[in-house]
Structure formats: structure tokens, C-alpha cells
């Protein structure tokens, strides 16, 4: 039997952020990963010389420090980094037309002027004025200072003056973003655009996305000199950086270590049992980076008190379809953008199945991801593929293969708007479905994450009704994607850390800290 201070279930970005920080704080940490590769939804894989990102493809706020991005704060805290390449342009293929746009406010106003006229530009400028104090409020307290115990009065209290200055606006951040834009934005295109941005952030439109998430996005994307980032080597190098931070402080990663049950004694989580029967005892805590639904499956019936029922009823976002392609790049236009977003029909809502398609061609920025003269491409329908269409299918059946072909067609058609002859260029073709998500990522129904509408429910945070069991990941913190899960992992680690070590971490990443004698 192995022993540790903390056992972390799952090596997604949330779990690794948490584990690496705990190791930095001096805890003995073991991470149990069911898969043969670390990284969860952010893991990378290789086929025939092509290096693919399994999930995240759009990054920002990571190539510089200090940054409001929680993942950047985690990397700073564990003294790790990767090499970043920066860019600012992405392609849009919308019902109004096809165009390239850049992050930042000025060029988007040029797009608005051409598509919608000066009235739309004036609305956007007014929205920016409304969002400016909200954006400042959204970053008034860094996630690095947050913890879920009384120690927060000291660590988060360091930022009390900043929070007091922004108090009226902080209250506005707790509701839906639609409440902010009502009366400010009337132009249909801008409304659709904001719904799209909300959907990409949270899996919900503006009336379900928290104002805080959009304020954070405005603070990041619409500031002077903003750029987007891409990690040289792909998403896997971020996973590697977190693992280096974990292992440098004597933390352990166990691959092919599928947790079958959380051990519970006297209403206290005391460790985990693996599928092979091995038990690992946790002296301080068990931390689950699995989704809320998958975490509940790990608990014995005797531990599932009524207080867990609300979590079991958490609404879920839909799943994904994926195309991972390795193609011949000869003769493609040299100014091809790395990222593209395709919307087929605004009238159907951005959340409608197969209506929004995202395309990433990261080898444009990092040629090392593909053999010479080749490109890697990742196409996906983000959180809009119904699991019910796939439920119960045999992955080896002809029916499954036929449905894969039929349901991937919308992605091929979207990609053909960018590269018309792409089907004839393919060296590698991989199609992923909700069943792929469910199988390889151990995701309940292949879900993108919780769909908790702002103002109509709350993310539960790290703590649980079971003593000794904490959680991190997309089921605990609002927002979908790397910043949200990194924040959740950081906050969970902070909650276990001694206050003096937490304060020292804040000092080390550049925050001025008052000395209370700890």
C-alpha cells in the first residue's frame, strides 16, 4: 500500500495545476491518471509524424507575466514556462461574409464599419466603455490569492482596497452578461457576435454566461497591444511544464492508474482504490479532477448523502465531434490564418447542433508539429454534439462508422471553405465522437462540462460534503477551458496550504504582500 499527503484523481490541467502547487507547498502528492498519457482533454498525441492537440487550441495571456490568466500564475508559481509564439489574426466565416479579424478593439471596429456601418461602431465603443470598469473589477483579486477557508481573510484580504474600489462593479459581475449588454447593444450582428464569444467561453449564450467571464475576456482580448499565444510543441508542452513542476518537488504521476473508488472511513475520504486492487492512502485529502458526475461514481453508496444530490443533477453541456488531419500543405496561400471560426446560421442560435465549427492549423505557427511541407489541422464542433445520438452504439459496428461519416460532414464542409481541396490532401484522417470523449477522457456522456446558467445556479467550488474530499476542474469553477480549470486547481491547492506558504507564493509571483508576522 502506498501513502501520500494528497492523492489527485486525474491529470487534466486542473489536476496538474493543483498537484504541482501542492508539491511546491511541500505536500507529498500522487496523481493517478487512468490514461496512458497525462493531460486530460489537453493531452497531445502523434500519428505518422503529425503532432495533434486533442482539445484546447486557442491561448492568450500566457506569453507574458504578470498576467491575469490563472494558468500563467500557476506556471509562475512553480517556476516553469514554455516557448510561446504570438499572433493576432483569426479568420471568420460568417453569414455576413468571410474576413480576417484581429484581437484588440480597433480592427474589429473596421470590420463593423464595413458590415454594419457607423451606428454599430458607436455601439461597440459604448460597450467598451461600459466594460472597462467591469474588466478592472474582474481582475481586482487574482485567483492566486483565493482559498476556501478562513485563511482567505488574510490572503484575499491583501486585495481588500482594490476590491473596495471596484465593489459596485463586482456586484454586477455575479449576474448574466446579457444584463450588462441589454440597452447598450442593439445591433443584431454584435448581439450574435457576443453570443458566440459567450458560447466559446462557457458553452452557453449571453443570457447564461456570467458577466465576470466576459469581463475577464474583455480585459484580456480588447486591450492595447494584445496578442494570442501558441505553445511551441503543442498543448503537450504545457502538460510537460506542469509535470516538471510536480516532479521537481518530489510529486509523483502514476499512468494507467484507473481509480475505481474513493475510500471512505467514518465519513472521511482516506484514499483511493485502483482497478488493479491497489490502495493508496491519503493523510490529508483526496482531490478529484474528474467531472462532477464521474466523481460521484467513485463514491461508495454510504457516502452519497442527500447533500450530494444537487451535484448529481448538474446540467451538462453537449459533447464534440473532432477531425484531426495531417495534410499536404503545398500550394496553400501563405497568409492563411491559424484559427478560424465558422457559423452557418445565426437564426439557429450559436448553441444549435453543428451550427458552429472551429478550425485550428497550428503548424502555421509551429512547423515542428508536422513533417516538412505538411500541416496538422484540428476541426471540431465545440460543445454542440448531442450525446443521445451516439448513446449505446457499438464502436465497432457499421452503424457507428456510417454515423461518424455523416456527422463529420459539417466539419469537412466548413474546412473546405478555407481549403477547398482538403479531402484530396489528407495523409492522416481521424474522426472523434462523443464516445471517443467518453472513452479516452473518462468524461460522463462525453460532456464539455457543466451548463450552469449565470444567476440560476452556482459552481460548488473545491469543498464537498465529504470530509477529506476536495474537487477541482471544470465542475467547480465557472468557465470552460484552461484558465478556469487552472484557477480551480490553484484555489484547491491554496485551500490546503498553510497561510504563510500561500503568502510567500503570492510574493514570489510578484504581488506586494503585507507582513502579518506569519
Please indicate, yes or no, if residue 289 is contained in any of the structural domains: yes
**Which of 193, 343, 289, 198 shows the shortest CA–CA distance to 493?**
289
Euclidean distance between CA atoms 437 and 435, whole angstroms:
5
Which residues have a Cβ under 8 Å from the Cβ of 91 and sit 6 or more positions away?
A: 98, 99, 100, 337, 339, 340, 341, 359, 418
- Kind plus residue range of the DSSP H or E element containing 173: none
Decide if pLDDT at 457 tops 80.
no
**Residue range 100-153, pLDDT digits in tens:** 988 876 788 899 999 999 999 999 999 999 999 998 888 888 999 999 999 999
CATH number at residue 470: 3.50.50.60
- Residues 383, 296 share a domain: no
CATH number at residue 199: 1.10.405
Q: Give the cell for residue 34.
A: 487512468
Residue with cell 461514481: 297
**What is each CA distance from 350 to 107, 346, 347, in whole angstroms?**
23, 7, 8
The domain boundary, picked from 446, 479, 495, lies at 446
- 517 pLDDT band, cuts 50/70/90, is low
Strand stretches in 131-232, DSSP E? 228-231
- Residues 210, 123 share a domain: yes
Strand stretches in 41-106, DSSP E? 44-47, 50-53, 59-60, 84-87, 89-94, 97-102
Instruction: Please report the pLDDT score of residue 326 as a whole number.
Output: 98
Euclidean distance between CA atoms 358 and 340, whole angstroms:
6
The domain boundary, picked from 192, 224, 256, lies at 224
- Residues 219, 119 share a domain: yes
Residues 403-430 have a mean pLDDT of 97
Q: Which domain holds residue 41?
A: 2-82+231-314+451-508
Please indicate, yes or no, if residue 118 is contained in any of the structural domains: yes
Number of domains in the chain: 3
Decide if pLDDT at 314 tops 60.
yes
**Residue range 184-229, pLDDT digits in tens:** 999 999 999 999 999 988 888 999 999 988 998 887 777 777 899 9
Decide if pLDDT at 442 tops 90.
no
Instruction: Please report the pLDDT score of residue 172 as a whole number.
Output: 85
- Residues 434, 324 share a domain: yes
**Residue range 3-51, pLDDT digits in tens:** 999 999 999 999 999 999 999 999 999 999 999 999 999 999 999 999 9
Please indicate, yes or no, if residue 150 is contained in any of the structural domains: no
Please indicate, yes or no, if residue 516 is contained in any of the structural domains: no
Partners of 470 in the β-ladder: 287, 463
- 515 pLDDT band, cuts 50/70/90, is low
Decide if pLDDT at 358 tops 70.
yes
Helix, strand and coil in the chain, % to nearest 5 = 40, 25, 35
Residue bearing the bigger pLDDT, 474 or 420: 420
Residue bearing the bigger pLDDT, 180 or 460: 180
Euclidean distance between CA atoms 76 and 266, whole angstroms:
39
The domain boundary, picked from 404, 420, 446, lies at 446
**What is each CA distance from 259 to 34, 304, 319, in whole angstroms?**
7, 17, 23
In this structure, what is the dihedral angle of CA atoms 14, 18, 23, 25, given to the nearest 10 degrees?
150
Decide if pLDDT at 514 tops 80.
no
- Residues 220, 116 share a domain: yes
**Which of 293, 288, 327, 301 shows the shortest CA–CA distance to 416?**
327
**Residue range 478-506, pLDDT digits in tens:** 877 899 999 999 999 999 999 999 999 99
Please indicate, yes or no, if residue 158 is contained in any of the structural domains: no
Residue with cell 490553484: 490
- Residues 245, 200 share a domain: no
- Residues 308, 455 share a domain: yes
**Residue range 237-288, pLDDT digits in tens:** 999 999 999 999 999 999 999 999 999 999 899 999 999 999 999 999 999 9
Q: What is the pTM of this model?
A: 0.94
- Residues 261, 220 share a domain: no
**Which of 12, 16, 55 shows the shortest CA–CA distance to 437?**
55
- Residues 439, 323 share a domain: yes
- Residues 42, 10 share a domain: yes
- Residues 276, 240 share a domain: yes
Residues 358-377 have a mean pLDDT of 97
How would you classify the pairing of strands 426-432 and 319-328?
antiparallel
- 307 pLDDT band, cuts 50/70/90, is low
Please indicate, yes or no, if residue 89 is contained in any of the structural domains: no
Please indicate, yes or no, if residue 514 is contained in any of the structural domains: no
Euclidean distance between CA atoms 393 and 29, whole angstroms:
38
- Residues 414, 324 share a domain: yes
Euclidean distance between CA atoms 138 and 132, whole angstroms:
10
Positive or negative: CA dihedral 265, 267, 271, 273: positive
Q: Please give the angle made by the CA atoms of 358, 481 and 308, to the nearest 5 degrees.
A: 125
- 379 pLDDT band, cuts 50/70/90, is very high
Amino acid at each position: 500500500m502506498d501513502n501520500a499527503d494528497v492523492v489527485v484523481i486525474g491529470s487534466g490541467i486542473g489536476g496538474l495545476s493543483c498537484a504541482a502547487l501542492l508539491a511546491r507547498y511541500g505536500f507529498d502528492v500522487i496523481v493517478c491518471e487512468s490514461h496512458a498519457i497525462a493531460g486530460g482533454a489537453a493531452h497531445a498525441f502523434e500519428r505518422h509524424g503529425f503532432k495533434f492537440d486533442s482539445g484546447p487550441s486557442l491561448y492568450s495571456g500566457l506569453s507574458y507575466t504578470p498576467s491575469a490568466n490563472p494558468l500563467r500564475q500557476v506556471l509562475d508559481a512553480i517556476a516553469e514556462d514554455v516557448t510561446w509564439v504570438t499572433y493576432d489574426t483569426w479568420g471568420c466565416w460568417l453569414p455576413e461574409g468571410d474576413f480576417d479579424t484581429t484581437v484588440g478593439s480597433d480592427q474589429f471596429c473596421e470590420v463593423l464599419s464595413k458590415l454594419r456601418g457607423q451606428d454599430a461602431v458607436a455601439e461597440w465603443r459604448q460597450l467598451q466603455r461600459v466594460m472597462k470598469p467591469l474588466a478592472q473589477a474582474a481582475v481586482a483579486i487574482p485567483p492566486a490569492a483565493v482559498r476556501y477557508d478562513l485563511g482567505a481573510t488574510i490572503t484575499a484580504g491583501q486585495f481588500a482596497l482594490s476590491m473596495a474600489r471596484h465593489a459596485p462593479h463586482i456586484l454586477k459581475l455575479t449576474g448574466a452578461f446579457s444584463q450588462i449588454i441589454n440597452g447598450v447593444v442593439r445591433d443584431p450582428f454584435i448581439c450574435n457576435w457576443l453570443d458566440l464569444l459567450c458560447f466559446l467561453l462557457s458553452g452557453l449564450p449571453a443570457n447564461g454566461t456570467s458577466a465576470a467571464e466576459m469581463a475577464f475576456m474583455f480585459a484580456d482580448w480588447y486591450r492595447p497591444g494584445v496578442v494570442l499565444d501558441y505553445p511551441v510543441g503543442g498543448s503537450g508542452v504545457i502538460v510537460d511544464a506542469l509535470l516538471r513542476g510536480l516532479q521537481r518537488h518530489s510529486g509523483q504521476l502514476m499512468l494507467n492508474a484507473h481509480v475505481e473508488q474513493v475510500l471512505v472511513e467514518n465519513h472521511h475520504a482516506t484514499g483511493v482504490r485502483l482497478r488493479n486492487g491497489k490502495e493508496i492512502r491519503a493523510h490529508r485529502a483526496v482531490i478529484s479532477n474528474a467531472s462532477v458526475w464521474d466523481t460521484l461514481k467513485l463514491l461508495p453508496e454510504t457516502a452519497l448523502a442527500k447533500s450530494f444530490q444537487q451535484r448529481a443533477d448538474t446540467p451538462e453541456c453537449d459533447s464534440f465531434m473532432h477531425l484531426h488531419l495531417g495534410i499536404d500543405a503545398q500550394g496553400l496561400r501563405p497568409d492563411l490564418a491559424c484559427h478560424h471560426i465558422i457559423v452557418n446560421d445565426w437564426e439557429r442560435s450559436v448553441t444549435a447542433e453543428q451550427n458552429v465549427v472551429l478550425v485550428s492549423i497550428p503548424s502555421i505557427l509551429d512547423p515542428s508539429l508536422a513533417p516538412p511541407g505538411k500541416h496538422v489541422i484540428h476541426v471540431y464542433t465545440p460543445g454542440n454534439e448531442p450525446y443521445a445520438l451516439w448513446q449505446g452504439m457499438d464502436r465497432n459496428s457499421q452503424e457507428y462508422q456510417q454515423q461518424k461519416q455523416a456527422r463529420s460532414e459539417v466539419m469537412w464542409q466548413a474546412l473546405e471553405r478555407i481549403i477547398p481541396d482538403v479531402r484530396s490532401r489528407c495523409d492522416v484522417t481521424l474522426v472523434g465522437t462523443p464516445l471517443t470523449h467518453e472513452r479516452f477522457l473518462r468524461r460522463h456522456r462525453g460532456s464539455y462540462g457543466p451548463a450552469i446558467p449565470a444567476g440560476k445556479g452556482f459552481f460548488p467550488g473545491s469543498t464537498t460534503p465529504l470530509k477529506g474530499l476536495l474537487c477541482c476542474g471544470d465542475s467547480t469553477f465557472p468557465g470552460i477551458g484552461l484558465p478556469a480549470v487552472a484557477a480551480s486547481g490553484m484555489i484547491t491547492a491554496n485551500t490546503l496550504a498553510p497561510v504563510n506558504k500561500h503568502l510567500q507564493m503570492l510574493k514570489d509571483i510578484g504581488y506586494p504582500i503585507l507582513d502579518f508576522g506569519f
